[in-house]
Amino acid sequence: MTTIHTFHVQERTEVRNFMTVHMQQYPFIFSNESKYRIERHVALWMSWWLFSAILYAYTSGVTLFPHYKRLPISMTDAFFFLAPHMFLSYTLMYVVIPKFVLKGRYVTGVALVLILFFLTACISALIGLYVLPPIRQSLFATDYADFLRYPAPLAFYLSLLAGLRGAITIGGLAASIKLMKYWYMKEQRNLQLQKENIASQLQLLTAQVHPHFLFNTLNNIYSYTQNTSPVASKLVSGLSDILRFILYECNQPLVPLSKELKMIKDYISLEQIRYDNKLDLHLDLPANSNDLQIAPLLLLPLVENCFKHGTSHMLEQPWISLHISIRGNQMNMKLVNGKTAEAQTDGASGIGVQNVRKRLEILYPGKHELIITPEEDVFIVNLKLELGQRKIPIVKPNSELIHA
């Protein structure tokens, strides 16, 4: 599990590195630094301003002035129209597209786009009818406004159409830039993820050689120690079973409760040998687990905690009592171990116990109750856990293991 988790972390790191490389190679386009963002926006609006000015200067409907006189006036008009165009563009790029279009809320997104187009066209019409004429008069000694010769409703209608044309143009341009950048980065990220996924699979296949070598070595040691050292042979056998469970079973989200309990028994057996059979052990495990499933390695840290913070500090008469019962889908676990007054008192807050608490909160929300009571002479753990009977495919090792 550690290897797989490491690969996932490495994959996310590679994606971030890929994005960083793009930002470094093309900072003007992809960098989020204020310097480059300002430069991008200034370049966009300068280009749009000059484009609009040249376009308006060569409008066929106005022929009273030569082109060189119309250009300064159209540049002034285009400058004042930048305000509604910016309002439309930034609302589309930072509100409508990311919060509605990219999240699949298309009906709301289309409705907002239509409203924004109409609102921008109205603002542009008002600017063209009431803001620009006095400015043209003061700067160029001309009103340059054929629309003012029409009745007010018709003049507003014609200005609205002109504003709508500009709104659709700049809105379409802004949306295109936003979507093209988004889809390009998404496509590049997907390609990079595919490469990293292939690399991770190759690394996982390569990593399978190491457990194979490990178990072959343990088999050899087991064979050599059967006759010369029965205790060492039993240790190797128990260690092999535990490693097999951790390496081959724990990559599943759930494992049979019976296998989890067997692994705990193997672990306790190894600890008993270390204590030279002086450990007073009371072990009561259910004979039938009712095909219940449990998250792997969820109970082991609690048992390990008993040895680490309890019996390992007791020079005389170390003892542990473990009782697990099943009622329907509920598993009840009571774990009690003795400890000395001088023993460490951080057994209830160690890393292993903290991890168990976090895993229970994530995997079994509202379906568990964990109570840890550190007394003066004993350490008590009570766990109630509601389990399920969901069947899952179990990955079996493809190599011959000790007692497999």
pLDDT score of 100? 93
Tokens describing residue 197: 């996924």
Interval 190-214 mean pLDDT: 63
**Residue 337 — φ and ψ, nearest 5°?**
-140, 150
Distances (CA, A) of 232 to 189, 238, 390: 52, 10, 38
For 115-169, the pLDDT digits (tens) are 999 999 999 999 988 888 888 888 876 655 554 566 777 878 888 888 898 899 9
| Cβ-based burial of 25 (10 A; exposed 0-12, middle 13-18, buried ≥19) | exposed
Q: What mean pLDDT is reported for the chain?
A: 77
Instruction: Go through the domains of the chain in sequence order and give each one's CATH number.
Output: 2-203 (no CATH), 279-386 (3.30.565.10)
pLDDT score of 144? 52
* Position 255 confidence tier, pLDDT thresholds 50, 70, 90: confident
Q: Classify residue 336 as left (phi > 0), alpha (psi -120 to 50) or beta.
A: beta
For 98-108, the pLDDT digits (tens) are 999 988 899 99
For 289-303, the pLDDT digits (tens) are 888 999 888 888 888
User: Model's pTM, two decimal places?
Assistant: 0.46
| Cβ-based burial of 180 (10 A; exposed 0-12, middle 13-18, buried ≥19) | exposed
pLDDT score of 396? 42
Q: Are 31 and 42 in contact (CB under 8 A)?
A: no
More confident residue, 39 or 246: 39
**Residue 319 — φ and ψ, nearest 5°?**
-145, 150
Strands 330-338 vs 378-386: parallel, antiparallel or unpaired: antiparallel
Percentage of residues in the chain with pLDDT exceeding 90? 22
Buried b (16+ CB within 10 A) or exposed e, 66-87: eeeebbebbbbbbeebbebbbe
* Position 399 confidence tier, pLDDT thresholds 50, 70, 90: very low
Q: How many CB atoms lie within 10 A of CB 289?
A: 21
Report the candidate in 44, 52, 50 with the shortest Cα–Cα distance to residue 28: 44
Cα separation, 126 vs 131, in Å, equals 7
pLDDT score of 4? 39
